[in-house]
Amino acid sequence: MNFKRLIPVWRYIALLMTASILSGCADNDMGDLDAFMAEKRARPGGVIEPIPTFTAYEAFAYAATGQRAPFDRPVEVRQITRMSARSTIMPDLDRPREFLEQFTLDSLQMVGRLERGGNYWSLMRDPQGGIHRVSPGNFLGRDHGRITDMGETFVAVIEIVTDGTAEGWVERPRVIELTGS
């Protein structure tokens, strides 16, 4: 079979197919489009409604800042009376900061618990993936959080946060639950 003879034949077939496809585009009958546009132009113009008036924003004063968050573990009555008995709550700003205090409390996760010789530690994962061993008395979180209690599935922390005044501080209980991952 001689392929040099077939090449000009394929060229002619391709040229004929292109010409037949382009011949379908040659019809310039746009009567239906002109009729549609004439119908739309014949309709009367619509009325634009005015911009609606908005009511002024009403500021809401949130008064439940001192109450327990609905998803936190309930605080025992003994802890509440112990916290309210202190009148001069203030963090120790001169103590050396621990490693886990550079992270927010929400970014830390409890991932396990260890026991050795009667001593218990909770394992905390920081946002960078590091695992750290903590026990009651250790500090973590950016708000001067100190671990007060540990269980098999939780770590209880008391944070010292500002109450919005120049020298006022309040204690806020928080709980870090054990995660499954």
The model scores a pTM over 0.85: no
- More confident: 71 or 76: 71
The closest alpha carbon to 154, from 87, 74, 94, belongs to 74
81-93 confidence digits (pLDDT tens):
555 544 578 888 8
> Cα–Cα–Cα angle for 173, 177, 180, nearest 5°?
170
Confidence at residue 6, expressed as pLDDT on a 0 to 100 scale: 58
Structure tokens at 67: 């109450």
Residue 66 reports pLDDT greater than 60: yes
What is the mean pLDDT of the segment spanning 93-105?
A: 92
Taking all residues of the chain, what is their mean pLDDT, rounded to a whole number? 82
Confidence at residue 85, expressed as pLDDT on a 0 to 100 scale: 47
3-state class (DSSP) for residue 137: coil
Spatial separation of the C-alpha atoms in residues 155 and 175, rounded to whole Å: 6
Structure tokens at 110: 């409890």
126-161 confidence digits (pLDDT tens):
999 999 999 999 999 999 999 999 999 999 999 998
Longest CA span, the chain: 105
Structure tokens at 98: 């621990």
Helix or strand (DSSP H, E) at 140? strand 139-140
Topology of 77-177 in CATH? SH3 type barrels. (2.30.30)
Q: What's the pLDDT band for 2 if we cut at 50, 70, 90? A: low
What is the mean pLDDT of the segment spanning 23-38?
A: 79
Q: Under 8 Å CB-to-CB from 70, ≥6 apart: which residues?
A: none
* Beta pairing partners, 162: 169
Spatial separation of the C-alpha atoms in residues 94 and 85, rounded to whole Å: 24
What is the mean pLDDT of the segment spanning 94-104?
A: 93
